[in-house]
Every structure is written in C-alpha cells, then in structure tokens.
Structure 1
Amino acid sequence: MNISVVIPLLNEQESLTELNDWIAKVMQSNHFSYEVIFIDDGSTDDSWQIISKLSNQNNQVKGIRFLKNYGKSQALHAGFKKAQGNVVITMDADLQDNPDEIPELYSMIVNDGYDLVSGWKKKRYDSVIAKNLPSKLFNWAARKTSGVKLNDFNCGLKAYKLDVVKNIDVNGEMHRYIPVLSKNAGFTKIGEKIVQHQARKYGETKFGMNRFIHGFLDLITIWFLSRFGKRPMHLFGALGVIMFAIGFGFAFYLGVDKLFLNPSGRLITQRPQFYIALSTMIIGTQFFVAGFLGEIILRTKQNKKRYLVKDRLNF
C-alpha cells in the first residue's frame, strides 16, 4: 500500500464527506493504493455515523472511535498503530488542509529520501491576534529549544515514512512536537514544504489561549525529556551538588569565623548565613532524592492504556 491518511477529528460532521471525496479523487488520479483512517476523538455530533456510512461504501475508509475525548495526540497514536501505508499522511478534518498537497509530500518521502516532511502554512486565513501571532511566537521558541528548523510546528499536514510513526510515542499533547520526537528517535532528515491553507468552511476553531499556554508547557517538557528523560539524575544530581556546595560553603565559613576569627561574636544560629546554609543543603538533598526517584520510576514503569476504543470499522 502506498499511502495511509490518518485524520483525527472532533465534531466535524459537516466536512467529512467532502474531505473523503476530495482525498479519493486525488488518490485515484495519481493511481495510489491507499487507506483513510478517521479517528473520532469522542465527537458528540453525527461524525461517527458519517464515518460508518463512508466505510460501508468503501472498505478503504476505516474508523476508530474513542469512548470519550482523549486529545489529538492519543488519536494520532491510535491511527499510527493501525497505519499500513509506506507513507503516512496526517491532516486535520476541517478542510483547512489541502489534499492536493499529498502527491508532492509523498514524492518528497519516497524520491527525496526525507523521513518526515512538515507542511508550512506560510499564508494563513486565521485571526492575526488570536492565532497567527501566538503561533509565530510558539514556533520561534520551539526552533530555539529543539534545534529543529521548521517554520510551522503546528501544521497538521505532515508526511512520514512508516518506520517513523511506528517508532515514536505520541502521548499527552505532544502532537505539536512530532518532528522533535522523530529527531530524538534518530530520524533526522526532516523537510518542510509550503502548503496551501484553506479558510475554515464549517464549524468553529478548536484553538484557544489554553492550547497556547499548554503548548509552551509541553515545550518545556519535551526539552527536559530530550536531554534528561533517560538520565534524570544528571540534572537533579547536578542541581543537588550545586545547592549542597553553596550550603556547605556557608557552613564552613560560619565554623571558621566562630572558632578562629570571632569566637566571642553572635551565636551561629543568630546569623542569617546559618539559615542560608541550612536551606540550601536541604534543597540539595531534595534534588538528589528527586533524581533517585526519577531513575527508579524509569526502571519500574509499566505501560498503561492511554485511551479506550469504543468501535472500529474495517479493521
């Protein structure tokens, strides 16, 4: 099979039939063998009924339905597990991603040898204040933190080698950082393609300020995981040594001062340096304990299900 198209969605009943027909037209005109995997992330409208109808009409259309809303990352994870195409394309279900971009994305993976190609919506039709400016700030911070030189981390339209999606773990809200996860996994040939951005035709955007804030918090998380995820003691141990050294330095100074320089002066416990020494040594010890606990958790963690699937179609 040439292509798997993975489409996570939440309450997109108006656009699904049009999107599916558009994808089918592109695939047939380019003679691609393909599958379309819709992942219904707990929709409360008629999205699942429409997916069921489409799958009955065409066995290349497949569906996964979550028991409730678990988030886009979990939906992508479920789709990646089931994908069988040599190239995996992800796109949003709101018709803002253009299926006509698929052939060139496919060619960049197959012919140009990229592991991952990310779309770049250079010209956008979103609100400048509500989405464009926050996205630019977010993308700048992501580039500086991760070292992955992409202009649009948030673009849902991406293409992957099958090996990439089978060897990365997309969890939490890390779908924004799949290129970073891929780089950390060893898939370093990452490209970018300017893609056409469509104005939203149906429904309302799911974007809000809470997603913008969560994006930056996730950026800090992935920065930490990429550098210290497999060796937390390297970070917490170093911080513990620094804090303990500061505390020990103050304690040593107080001891020398009291014994040799000013034996008749104030009691050690009456001096502010004593409390600085005590606090920093306690904090240093806590950092060490945090590092040890992190190492223990890494070695004893068990895989847990992150979502529950209610229904499947054509699997």
Structure 2
Amino acid sequence: MTSMNAAPLSLVIPVFNEQDNIAPLLARVHQALSEYPAPWEILLIDDGSADATVQRITEGQAAYGNHVRLVPLARNFGQTAAMQAGIDLARGDVIATLDGDLQNDPIDIPRMVNRLIAEDLDLVAGWRKNRQDNLWLRKVPSKIANRLIRKITGVTLHDYGCSLKVFRASVIKGVRLYGEMHRFIPAWLATQTAPSRIKEEVVAHHARTAGVSKYGLSRTFRVIIDLISVYFFMRFAARPAHFFGMLGLGFGALGGLTLFYLLILKLLGENIGDRPLFMVGIMLVLISVQILTTGVLSEMLSRTYHEAQDVRSYHLRPSAGEALDAPDWKQPLESSPPTEQTVS
C-alpha cells in the first residue's frame, strides 16, 4: 500500500465482556497496521461489560498510546448502538468496523482500504468464505438469511453478517442505526449511495478462542422482523402511501370480487344473507378502507417530517478527493489525544 491508497483510518470495535480478547486484539491490530502510511486510531466501545473489559482497554491505552480510545457506554445498549457511537466519534475519513472476539482478522483491513480508495467505493464488506463456525447453529441459518436479504434488498453480497467492513466516512455517517440494524448496514447504505459502489472482499475468519458467543438461533427470527422494516424504508420511506395503497387495493379488489360474486348469486335468486362469504366480503372491503386511510395519514406524516426537519430526498456525493483531503487531517491523530467519553 502506498500513501496514495491510504487515508486517515478509524477502527470501530464494539466489545461486551471480552476481557480475555482485548490484549491479543490490540496486539493483532497494531501488527496488521504497523506499516499503514496514514494516521489511524482504535475506538473500543464498551457496551456495558460486567467483567474487566474496561480495565484491559485502559491497560492497552497505557501500553500503546492515546490513539487507543475507550468509549464506555452507560449500560448495555446492544451492538447496533455501540457501533453507532463509534461511528459518531470516529475521526477518520475511512471507518472500519470489526468484532472484538478475534474472529475477524485485522490483517485484511489495509487491503480493504486500498480497494475502497483505488476503486472509489463507499463500502467494502468482508465475506467469510471459509467460516469457522458451527454448521447448524451458525452457517445454515446465515446462508438462508443472506439469500433472503439479497432477494429483498437487491444488494448482492454473500455475507451480510460479517462485521468486518470498511466504509467511506462521509457516507456511513449519513446513516442512522437503530434497534438491531447493524446486520443490514449494506442495505441501509444503499439508501445513500448506488449499490454499484458496494463491493465485497474475501476475508479470513477464525474460531473463537476465548469468551462466549453473544449470538443464538433467536437472532434468525429478529433478522426476519428487521428485514421487513428494511424493505419498507428502502422502497417506501418517502412514499408510504404507495406501500399501504398496494395492500389496501389488494384487499379491496378481493372484497369487491367476493361481493360481486354474491351479487350475481342474489340476482339468480339465491339467498346470500346467511352465507359466511358475505361477511368475509364486507370485512375485506372495510380492511381495505382502513389500510388506504392509514396510507394517507402516513403520507401526511412523512411530508410533515421532511419539511419540519428539512430532510432532503437526495444526498450529494463529495467531489473527488474532498473527503480524503479534509483540512482537519494535516496533523497526526496522536497530536490531539481524545478524552474518555460516556455515551448515554
């Protein structure tokens, strides 16, 4: 990597009860970035750990320097909130995210940064092509979820669940993450930039050697629920009436056909007043009216929100070189050591 392919870099690493992994994680990061030609920093976001994680991070600061930044959250908010806190506080023009369990390998980061800049991309996502996880508990559910996410979002990636990602800071800072949306960051990013500017890179993956995994089968069901929200916001955030309109018209058409069928029977002399199908038809029409009304109200709320908050329906792309040559980066990161911050 040459200086032309590098940029000030922030590593955002959420950690929760990872006391045994902090020291080897910091050692591996410093080894991987020992020849990185631009300033860089590490943000370790402690997500309310109940063990000695914060103490280990403090020891790492003393050993390596102030570019190792501790961001202690007030309590356990979850990985998405921790990642958002790190992104908000990151000072690099390029932001890399990875897990703190040593399953992601920092050695891949310089190569991913190089590709991000060389190909003028907004995201290079890691692809754990050779995953070192349990087949039925992790691999199979992950394959099913990734295929479903690709189909619905239209963003073609093999591995949405890999935390190792490299972003252009000017783009990722325009995305707000809530709930458990960290696994859908590429999809959310597609609302800010073209999918063609999102690529993936095969990365190394290691088995966990210390600590306890924070994931389980329950995550699969949360993914499905979150995916519905992602689908709605990607396609209908600025036009919710279209979403509810399709549903309402569908129910209305079905109800109308049902009642029209019963009308034909009535004209032929049959009694339809005591048929359950008659009530079904009426209920379908009422449901259609309610959904269409909800769509109109949602459209009004959406317009009010966009006008009151001055939220634009578009995003400008920084001109070439603007993000990488920001004037705040004339001095190394170490020249202005950060203070510890508590995010509540």
Distance in 1 (CA, whole Å) between partners of 2:258 and 2:218 is 43
1:253 to 1:207, Cα distance in 2 relative to 1, 3 A: closer
Partner of 2:171: 164
Equivalent of 1:230 in 218, 238, 241: 238
Distance in 2 (CA, whole Å) between partners of 1:3 and 1:113 is 16
Cα deviation for residue 297 of structure 1 reads 4.2
Partner of 2:122: 115
Matched, 1:240 2:244: no
- The secondary structure found in structure 2 opposite 1:15 is helix
- The secondary structure found in structure 2 opposite 1:17 is helix
Matched, 1:278 2:272: no
Matched, 1:219 2:248: no
Distance in 1 (CA, whole Å) between partners of 2:256 and 2:34 is 72
Distance in 1 (CA, whole Å) between partners of 2:222 and 2:88 is 25
Partner of 1:308: none
Matches within 5 A, 1:83-232: 83-188=90-195, 189-232=197-240
Distance in 1 (CA, whole Å) between partners of 2:276 and 2:109 is 66
Q: Which amino acid aligns with 1:163?
A: S
Partner of 2:15: 9
Matches within 5 A, 1:265-304: 265-266=270-271, 268-299=272-303
Partner of 1:312: 341
Residue 13 of structure 2 contacts residue 44 of structure 2 at CA under 8 Å; is this kept in 1?
Answer: yes
- The unaligned stretches of length 5 or more in structure 2 are 1-6, 310-339
Cα deviation for residue 19 of structure 1 reads 1.1
Matched, 1:52 2:81: no
Distance in 1 (CA, whole Å) between partners of 2:250 and 2:194 is 35
Q: Deviations over 1:23-48 (max 9, x none)?
A: 12332323331111111111111111
Distance in 1 (CA, whole Å) between partners of 2:123 and 2:298 is 31
Q: Which moved more, 1:32-41 or 1:223-232?
A: 223-232
Distance in 1 (CA, whole Å) between partners of 2:136 and 2:276 is 49
Cα deviation for residue 255 of structure 1 reads 4.8
Residue 179 of structure 1 contacts residue 190 of structure 1 at CA under 8 Å; is this kept in 2?
Answer: yes
Q: TM-score, structure 2 length as denominator? A: 0.81
Matched, 1:21 2:27: yes
- The unaligned stretches of length 5 or more in structure 1 are 304-310
Cα deviation for residue 169 of structure 1 reads 1.6
Residue 7 of structure 1 contacts residue 91 of structure 1 at CA under 8 Å; is this kept in 2?
Answer: yes
Distance in 1 (CA, whole Å) between partners of 2:125 and 2:211 is 25
Residue 86 of structure 1 contacts residue 161 of structure 1 at CA under 8 Å; is this kept in 2?
Answer: yes
Q: Deviations over 1:51-98 (max 9, x none)?
A: 233334511111221222111111111111111112111110011111
- The secondary structure found in structure 1 opposite 2:100 is coil
Cα deviation for residue 289 of structure 1 reads 3.0
Q: Over aligned residue pairs, what C-alpha RMSD do you find?
A: 2.2
1:87 to 1:270, Cα distance in 2 relative to 1, 3 A: same
Q: Which amino acid aligns with 2:256?
A: F
1:252 to 1:130, Cα distance in 2 relative to 1, 3 A: closer
Q: Which amino acid aligns with 1:144?
A: K
Q: TM-score, structure 1 length as denominator? A: 0.88
Q: How many residues align?
A: 302
Residue 93 of structure 2 contacts residue 168 of structure 2 at CA under 8 Å; is this kept in 1?
Answer: yes
Paired-residue identity, %: 35
Q: Which amino acid aligns with 2:60?
A: L
Residue 33 of structure 2 contacts residue 107 of structure 2 at CA under 8 Å; is this kept in 1?
Answer: no
Distance in 1 (CA, whole Å) between partners of 2:243 and 2:206 is 44
Distance in 1 (CA, whole Å) between partners of 2:25 and 2:232 is 38
Q: Which moved more, 1:226-235 or 1:84-93?
A: 226-235
Residue 4 of structure 1 contacts residue 35 of structure 1 at CA under 8 Å; is this kept in 2?
Answer: yes
1:42 to 1:293, Cα distance in 2 relative to 1, 3 A: farther
Residue 164 of structure 1 contacts residue 187 of structure 1 at CA under 8 Å; is this kept in 2?
Answer: no
Partner of 2:337: none
- The secondary structure found in structure 2 opposite 1:117 is strand
